[in-house]
Structure 1
Amino acid sequence: MTNQGFPRGLRILTAGEYRHVFEHASFRIHGKGLLALATPNDLGHVRVGLVFSKKNVRRAVDRNRLKRLTRESVRLRQQWLPSVDIVVLSRKGVHEIDSETLARQLHGMWRRLEKDVKRQPEHQQ
């Protein structure tokens, strides 16, 4: 059985790590109300950071729900996701999406990211 946890090693934690993804994003995956920026890493596993601002998602309960669903989506697909650092950003209206639709949307975003990473030649990283 594979490890399905979500330890600190799977998270982007520092401002410098977030800045690196923002400045060197090789992939941009758009979804309804969400944007994922990703850049390759040499760690051999995915890492994720979340930016759900008060400006776009007013209520804390909504921000927490979105973060929980995003983390769970990554946790369940971590062994299939490529070795990249991902920052997921919220956009206006994302809090109006129900949880089931958001989970499907995130799954589709991860599949598009996998395809985009496979298409990119190794030497362009």
Structure 2
Amino acid sequence: MKALSFPKSSRLLTPRDYARVFNDVQIRVPHRNFLILATPNEVNQARIGLVFSKKNLKLAVQRNRVKRRVRETFRLQPDFPALDIVVLGRRGLADIDNAVLNQLLDDLWSRLKRKHRHLTTTVSHDQTDASEGRG
């Protein structure tokens, strides 16, 4: 049963963790119903935090359903990079059924991974160019 768990080490737990992501956003994955913000971390593991307001999802049952779907699709992602991720919900999420929501989230996770790969290759390429330029 441990393989199906969602441990504390996979979650953003403190306001400081959330503030670190909000103050140093390096990757943004926008969508009509979600906004995903991410920044690399030093813990060598992806961690996720969720922000779903009553303004956008009126009923607690709606907020809880969407949060469960986000956590589950995140947990099932293979080889996720070491990022601190905050997922913000936008309007219209209550009208999306679970199958569509799962597909949408899988697409957003793959976009996040792609942007992270692009960011790391760009940063490493820039550092290589800078070191070769000196000498």
TM-score between the two structures when normalised by the length of structure 1: 0.91
Aligned 1:2-17 pairs, distance under 5 A: 3-17=3-17
Structure with the bigger percentage of helix: 2
Aligned twin of 2:132: none
Deviations 1:52-109 (A, max 9, x none): 00011000000000000000011111x4211101100011111111111111011001
Letter in 2 for 1:114: K
Q: How many angstroms apart in 2 are the aligned matches of 1:63 and 1:29?
A: 20
Question: Is 2:83 aligned against 1:84?
Answer: yes
Aligned twin of 1:113: 112
Q: How many angstroms apart in 2 are the aligned matches of 1:117 and 1:82?
A: 8
Q: How many angstroms apart in 1 are the aligned matches of 2:80 and 2:101?
A: 18
In structure 1, runs of 5+ residues without a counterpart are none
Which secondary structure state, in structure 2, belongs to the residue aligned with residue 38 of structure 1? strand
Aligned 1:25-104 pairs, distance under 5 A: 25-77=25-77, 79-104=78-103
Large movers: runs of 4+ above 2 Å: 2-5, 121-124
Q: In 2, are the aligned partners of 1:18 and 1:49 still within 8 Å (CA)?
A: yes
TM-score between the two structures when normalised by the length of structure 2: 0.85
Q: Which has the higher contact order (CA 8 A, sep 6+)?
A: 1
Q: How many angstroms apart in 2 are the aligned matches of 1:73 and 1:12?
A: 16
Letter in 1 for 2:15: A
Count residues with an aligned counterpart: 122
RMSD: 1.6
In structure 2, runs of 5+ residues without a counterpart are 127-135
Rg larger in structure: 2
